[in-house]
Each structure stands twice: as C-alpha cells, then as structure tokens.
Structure 1
Amino acid sequence: MRIFFGVATVLLLAGCSTPSDLMAQKPVSTQVSQKLPKALALCVYPAWQDYRSNAVMNETTSGFRIVAGSDTGQTDDVLDIVLSDQRNGSIIKHYQRASWSQIGRGGLSSALNRCL
C-alpha cells in the first residue's frame, strides 16, 4: 500500500506545470494581429476568466501574458502576447498543457480569433 501512495505522489508531482514549463515547449498556435498587445489582451481576458475564474493577466516587458490554471495549481493555458518587431501589432503564442484534450477549452481559441 505504501508503494502505491509513493508512486501516486511521484506521478502527481510529475504532472505539475508552471507557465515557464509550458512556454519551454512548442506553442499549439502562433498568430499575428494588427492590434497592439494591450488592446488584444483586454479583449481576450474576459473569455479566459469565463474559462477559469482564477485566470490572471500580467504585463511583461514586451507585452502581456494571460495564464489560466486548474484548481490543483497546475497551469493549463498560457497566452503570450508580444509587440511585433515592426511595433505595429502583436505576435500571439498559445501554450497548453495536455493540448490533445480540448474539452471545455473551445472558447479560448474562438475568443482569440474574435479579438484578432
């Protein structure tokens, strides 16, 4: 029985993810918008809050980042919105944990597409 709990604990810890963990992987989508990062983030953020009430939006040195996590503390989705090199729009990268599972996440992509 102790072995079972030990294995279960290791598996739970291995599944933990942070925004940095997700952003170290390849994004599930990369898009470009003519909107500046702040306008785009303010448009997308309410839908992310509807998805997860604990979603947070932070300003970064190059734009904005929206992070949505599960109730267990894992980061499920990260939207990184940065100012384009031409400084006239945004580059948006969407990172997901378990991207193969889109149950309940459909609103995130559609909100982004509406705001582009």
Structure 2
Amino acid sequence: MRILIAAAMVAMLSGCSTPSDLMAGKPVTTQFTTKDPRAVALCVYPAWQDYRSNAVMSETTTGYRIVAGSDAGQTDDVLDIERGSQGKGSIVKHYQRAAWSKIGRGGLLPALNRCI
C-alpha cells in the first residue's frame, strides 16, 4: 500500500511545472518582429488574461515575460519577449506545458500573430 501511495505522489509531482521548467525545454514557436518588446507584450497581454485571468506580465532584464498558469499552481504557458540583436526588434518564444492540448488556447496564437 505504501508503495502505491509513493508512486502516486511521484506521478503527481512530475506533472508540476514552473516557468523555469518550461523554458528549459524547446519553445513551441519562435518568432521575430521589428516591434519593441514592450509593444508586443502590451498587445498580447489582454488575450492571455482572457485565457487565464491569473496571467502575469513582468519586465525582465532583456524584455518582458507573460506567464499563464492553472488554478492548481502549474504553469501552462510562458511567452518570453526579448530585445533582438543590436537592440532592434524582438525575439518572441512561446513555451507550453502539454503543447498537444489546444483546449482553451485557441486565442493565444492568433493574438500573438496579430501583435507581431
């Protein structure tokens, strides 16, 4: 019985993810734009709030980051918007937990494409 409980706990913990966990992997998409990171972040952020009301936008040393997570405390999506090379434009990387699941995420990619 104890082994079964321990195995269940390990399985539950393996599903947890943080922004750092997601960003350690390969992004689902990487896009480039001539727009400033702030302009891209301010354009995309409302759609991410519609997706998850607990979405958070923060300024980083290289640009902006938008993080959306589940009510269970897991990070589902991270949008990392960095200043491009030579200080021009932006490099936008989208990381997703369970990228195969598009349920409820329908507006994220179109919003990103509109803002690029």
Query: Partner letter of residue 59 of structure 2?
Result: E
Determine the structure 2 residue equivalent to 1:87. Answer: 87
Aligned residue runs from structure 1 range 27-38, under 5 A? 27-38=27-38
SS of residue paired to 1:8 = helix
Q: Percent of counterpart pairs with the same letter?
A: 72
Separation of aligned partners in 2, 1:13 and 1:29: 26
Determine the structure 1 residue equivalent to 2:60. Answer: 60
Determine the structure 1 residue equivalent to 2:102. Answer: 102
What TM-score results when the alignment is normalised by the length of structure 1?
0.95
The Cα shift of 1:2 comes to 4.5
SS of residue paired to 1:58 = strand
Determine the structure 1 residue equivalent to 2:112. Answer: 112
Separation of aligned partners in 2, 1:10 and 1:96: 22
Structure 2: state its 5+ residue gaps.
none
Query: Partner letter of residue 96 of structure 1?
Result: Q
SS of residue paired to 1:106 = coil
Deviates more, 1:26-35 or 1:4-13: 4-13
Q: Between Structure 1 and Structure 2, how many residues are aligned? A: 116
Separation of aligned partners in 2, 1:9 and 1:76: 20
Query: Partner letter of residue 32 of structure 1?
Result: F
Q: Deviations over 1:48-77 (max 9, x none)?
A: 000001100000000000000011100000
SS of residue paired to 1:68 = strand
Separation of aligned partners in 2, 1:110 and 1:73: 25
Structure 1: state its 5+ residue gaps.
none
What TM-score results when the alignment is normalised by the length of structure 2?
0.95
Separation of aligned partners in 1, 2:72 and 2:5: 18
The Cα shift of 1:4 comes to 3.6
Determine the structure 2 residue equivalent to 1:72. Answer: 72
